[in-house]
């Protein structure tokens, strides 16, 4: 059964964007979801379908927003052992391994975190894309670390709102080529899809979405027999596609092992052979979602979870430390 939300524009709401107005009046709906509903012809203003989320409303406008019935899942379960850090009736915190995609997509509809979640527990939120039940945010396939999963629609909307308001704490660790200058700072740009390769993103200063990364250097590894690397911590204020990878590339300090935003491995004479083999064998980017902090959608309690570097990344760090002795 369809649910229709009826709203009237009052004096204080005059000349607002319609998506902002609706998400403020209906706090259970994230602004992202409101935008998607409008784009998909679910909104009528004065009985006329409106598909522009940025449309300005005026006093007396009558809004009817249709909330469609959630779609039934038709995804296959995948027998995969999930590393669950926390679980209650509203959400899960999963420590994702590198090499597995978050949700089904072209070329892989069965062996993903979503399929594994369906196998583990069929109770997931279903208000978003039918291929992404429970998924509030993403990690790239070859990035490891913590992700939040919503088990019901109320939790999904609440967590989505926290992401949209940039109040969720997200800290990553990355091993980059060279040294960042300054060693602690803030990168603030726009990020848009690359005009040369649609699978890549790039920094822009006029178009795209605002992207902010705060970073600090944790350790620098350098001597005459190894390339210079830095272990850095990145705290996100926004969560754009490939944000850390793009920002590090923009600074000239690509992430080790990043095949999309890659830096050619420079051959160095007399390099420690054991270290060289370890660096070459790393088959994914050295990027790990270390910490996530948020307000629980039901209890209102502040929660924070942490994850150590996985073995493949920890091995690289140990080899670098030994090479620098």
Tokens of 266: 């420079």
145, 288 Cβ separation under 8 angstroms: yes
Q: How many helices (H) and strands (E) does the chain have?
A: 7, 14
Count of CB atoms within 10 A of residue 234's CB? Answer: 22
Query: How far is Cα 170 from Cα 290, in angstroms, rounded to an integer?
Result: 8
Which residue in 13, 140, 142, 272 is the catalytic one? Answer: 140
Query: How far is Cα 144 from Cα 211, in angstroms, rounded to an integer?
Result: 21
Tokens of 300: 């209102």
Query: How far is Cα 171 from Cα 174, in angstroms, rounded to an integer?
Result: 10
* Active-site annotation holds for 140: yes
Whether residue 210 is preceded by a cis peptide bond, meaning omega within 30 degrees of 0, is: no
Among residues 165, 128, 172, which one has the least CA distance to residue 149?
128
Strand partners, 203: 191
248, 167 Cβ separation under 8 angstroms: no
Residue 303: its H or E element: strand 302-306
Tokens of 152: 């019901």
Query: How far is Cα of residue 133 from the mean position of the Cα atoms in its chain?
Result: 15
Residue 35: strand, helix, or coil: helix
Q: Give 98's DSSP letter.
A: T
Among residues 113, 179, 110, 183, which one has the least CA distance to residue 143?
113
The residues that are catalytic are: 140
């Amino acid at each position: 059964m369809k649910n229709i939300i009826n709203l009237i524009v009052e004096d204080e709401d005059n000349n607002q964007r319609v998506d902002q107005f609706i998400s403020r009046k209906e706090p259970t709906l994230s602004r992202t979801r409101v935008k998607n509903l409008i784009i998909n012809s679910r909104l009528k203003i004065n009985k006329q379908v409106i598909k522009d989320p940025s449309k300005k409303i005026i006093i007396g406008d009558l809004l009817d927003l249709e909330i469609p019935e959630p779609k039934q899942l038709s995804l296959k379960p995948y027998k995969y052992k999930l590393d669950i850090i926390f679980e209650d009736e509203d959400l899960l915190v999963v420590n994702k391994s590198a090499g597995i995609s978050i949700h089904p997509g072209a070329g892989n509809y069965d062996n993903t975190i979503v399929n594994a979640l369906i196998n583990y527990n069929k109770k997931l939120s279903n208000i978003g894309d039918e291929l992404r039940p429970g998924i509030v945010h993403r990690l790239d396939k070859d990035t490891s670390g913590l992700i939040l999963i919503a088990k019901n629609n109320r939790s999904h909307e609440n967590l989505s709102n926290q992401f949209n308001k940039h109040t969720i704490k997200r800290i990553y660790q990355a091993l980059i080529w060279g040294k960042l200058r300054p060693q602690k700072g803030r990168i603030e740009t726009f990020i848009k899809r690359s005009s040369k390769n649609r699978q890549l993103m790039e920094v822009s200063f006029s178009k795209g979405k605002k992207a902010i990364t705060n970073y600090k250097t944790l350790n620098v590894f350098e001597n005459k027999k190894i390339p210079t690397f830095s272990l850095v911590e990145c705290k996100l204020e926004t969560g754009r596609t490939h944000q850390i990878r793009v920002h590090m590339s923009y600074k000239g300090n690509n992430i080790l092992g990043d095949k999309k935003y890659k830096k050619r491995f420079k051959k160095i004479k007399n390099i420690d052979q054991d270290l060289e083999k370890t660096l070459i064998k790393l088959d994914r980017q050295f990027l790990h979602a270390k910490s996530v902090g948020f307000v629980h959608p039901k209890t209102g309690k502040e929660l924070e979870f942490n994850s150590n570097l996985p073995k493949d990344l920890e091995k690289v760090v140990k080899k670098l430390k030994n090479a620098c002795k």
